[in-house]
Amino acid sequence: MQNGGADAMATKNYKYDVFLSFCKDTRSTFTGNLYHALTQKRIDTVFLGADCWPYSDQKVIQESRMSIVVFSKGYASSPRCLDELVSIIDLMNKNKQRVWPIFFKVDREKKLITNNEGTMFEQFGSLSMGLKLLSCLGLSDSGAKHEFLLGNSEVLGNSERMQQWKVALSDFSTLFGWDYKTNEIGQFSPLNNGGVRYEYELIQKIVKEVVESLPRYDIFLSFCGEDTRHSFTGFLYRALCREGFKTFMDDEHLEGGKEISKTLLDAIEKSRLSIVVFSKNYGYSSWCLDEFVKIIECKNAKSQMVLPIFYKVEQVDVCNQTNSYGDAMTGHEDKYGKDSEKVKKWKSALSEVASLKGEYINKTEYESEVIKRIVKICCDSKSLLECQGST
C-alpha cells in the first residue's frame, strides 16, 4: 500500500516512524490498541491526541516517516485533528511523505446533505461551506453538528481555514486505506478489507504493512560467512527475528575482491545496532573489514550501538591485531601496501574494539545460552526503543 513515496522514506532522516492522527473517541479503544501493537514491534510511534496540542506545531509530523489518520465519528469535532490533516496532506504533496487513512465506522463516500437545516448555521456565516464540510466529515447527527458549531464558531468564520480543511478532506477520500464499518444492527460487517472480521485483525494487517514498508533495520549482523553463517550467526538471526527485531543478514555468497555494495552500506546506516561476530577468519575478509569501518563511522558520527561477539577469539587479538588477526593484517599489507589508506582504516577501526563491551563464546559453552544472553541484551536496551535521527 502506498500513498506518498517509498524513496522519500528511505533517503531522509526522521525522528519517528509513524504519526497517529486521531480523535479522543478512539484513544482508549482502536487507536490505543493500534499504538501498543506498533510499539510492540519497536516502531517509534507518536501518540498525542490531546486537544491542547498547538495547531501550529507541525514539527512532530514533519519528523515522522509516515502518518496514519484514524477517521472516526468524532474526528470532525476537533479543529486540532483537521489542522493536523492539512499539515499531513501538505507534507505528502511537498515531501512525498507516506499517508494511510483508516475510515473507522464512517463512510468515506458520505453524500453531501441537502436538507433544510441551514438555519443552524446562518448565525456563524459561511453557510454553504459549513454544510459541505460537516457532511463530508460524516456528522449526520443534528446534535453533533450543533455541538461542533457552538464550540467552534470562530472557526466557521474563518473561510480560508475551512477551505484548507475541505481540500484536505477531498484529497484524503481518494487515498488507499482501510475501511472498517458496522452493519445496520451495530455488528461488525463480516468482511472488511479482504476478510478482516474483527478489530484486532485489522490492527494486525496495519502493523504488518507498516513493518514491511519501513526502510530501516533494528539490527545489522556483520560476520564471516564461512565461519558462522550456517551455525552461530544463523541461529542468532532467527532468534532475533522471533523476538520481533527487524534484522539484516546478508545472504550473498561473495567472490574474493568484490567491493562492498551500497545496499549493505545503507543497511548499516539505517540500523540502530550492529552486532559484529568476530571469528577466526573475519580479519581476512576485506568485505567484513569494510563493513566494520562503516559500523565504527556510524558509531562515532551517529551514536549507533555496537555489540561485538568474540567467537572463539580473544578481544585483545582483535584490537591489537595479533595471532590470526595479525596474520590477516600482514596479508592485507602485502596486497595493498603497508601504508595504504585502506589498511590504515581497517587497523584504526579494529583498535576501537578495545573500548567496546561484548560477549565471549568459548569452546566449552553452549552457543544457545550465549544467543539467549544476546537477545536479552537487545530486548533490555532502551536505545533500541528510542527514536534516533539516523533511522
CA atoms within 13 A on the CB side of 153: 8
Query: How far is 123 from 130, CA to CA, in rounded Å?
Result: 11
Query: How far is 21 from 38, CA to CA, in rounded Å?
Result: 14
The CA–CA distances, whole Å, from 325 to 68, 184, 277, 310, 355 equal 50, 72, 14, 12, 18
**What percentage of the chain carries pLDDT values higher than 90?**
40
Contact at 8 Å (CB) between 44 and 16?
Answer: yes
Query: How far is 139 from 108, CA to CA, in rounded Å?
Result: 12
Q: Residue 145's pLDDT band (boundaries 50, 70, 90)?
A: low
Residue with cell 499539515: 87
- CA torsion angle for 18, 20, 26, 29 (degrees, to 10)? 20
Rounded average pLDDT over 290-315: 94
Rounded average pLDDT over 220-243: 93
**What percentage of the chain carries pLDDT values higher than 70?**
71
Q: Which residues pair with 273 in a beta bridge?
A: 219, 305
**pLDDT at residue 279 above 80?**
yes
Query: How far is 174 from 168, CA to CA, in rounded Å?
Result: 11
Query: How far is 102 from 211, CA to CA, in rounded Å?
Result: 17
Q: What are phi and psi of 305, to 5 degrees?
A: -80, 145
- pLDDT, one tens digit per residue, over 205-219 is 899 888 888 766 789
For 5-38, b/e burial (b = at least 16 CB within 10 A) is eeebbeeeebbbbbbbbbbbbbbeebbeebbebb
Contact at 8 Å (CB) between 130 and 159?
Answer: no
The arrangement of strands across the sheet holding 98-104 comes to 45-47, 16-21, 64-71, 98-104, 178-180
pLDDT of residue 335: 94
Copy the grid coordinates of residue 11: 533517503
The arrangement of strands across the sheet holding 305-311 comes to 247-248, 217-222, 271-278, 305-311, 359-361
Query: How far is 132 from 124, CA to CA, in rounded Å?
Result: 14
The CA–CA distances, whole Å, from 349 to 235, 324, 338, 345 equal 27, 17, 16, 6
pTM (whole model) above 0.85: no
Across 67-71, 163-167, 360-364, the highest mean pLDDT is recorded for 67-71
Query: How far is 85 from 63, CA to CA, in rounded Å?
Result: 15
pLDDT of residue 146: 52
**What domains does the chain contain, in order, with CATH numbers?**
6-109+173-213 (3.40.50.10140), 217-385 (3.40.50.10140)
Please, where are the H alpha helices in the chain?
A: 6-11, 30-40, 59-62, 79-95, 119-122, 127-137, 142-151, 153-156, 159-172, 199-213, 225-228, 232-242, 262-269, 286-302, 315-320, 324-336, 341-351, 367-380, 382-385
